[in-house]
Amino acid sequence: MSHLALAVLAGVYLLAINLATFAVWGDDKRRAVRRARRVPEATLLTLSALGGWPAGLLAARAYRNKTRKVSFVLRLCGIIVLHFAAITAICLWVGTR
């Protein structure tokens, strides 16, 4: 697979996971307003860990959802830190090749 094809595939994946993440956070907020059964935090965090954390941050701010629960915010921040560490490690590894 060429580098261009790989980059396009990665871009499509990231777009899809972020759109899905934003939609699920919005659904969770709608359920909260209706006092219906909520989307499990594990689902929101899993989507974020799979690459949807930018949409998770935007959705949390846009919907004012999950912003006051400290344990959740800390876990989301941990996911973001791990993503940045992985990106940095990959960039350093590619730079030495």
Lowest mean pLDDT among 33-37, 61-65, 80-84: 61-65
The pLDDT-based confidence of 67 (bands split at 50, 70, 90) is confident
Residue 14 pLDDT level (bands cut at 50, 70, 90): very high
Q: If we measure between CA atoms, which residue out of 41, 19, 21 comes closest to residue 32? A: 41
Q: Which domain holds residue 57?
A: 3-95
Choose between 77 and 95: higher pLDDT.
77
Number of domains in the chain: 1
% residues pLDDT > 70 (the chain): 100
Task: Report in angstroms the alpha-carbon separations of 62 from 11, 29, 37.
Answer: 23, 10, 21
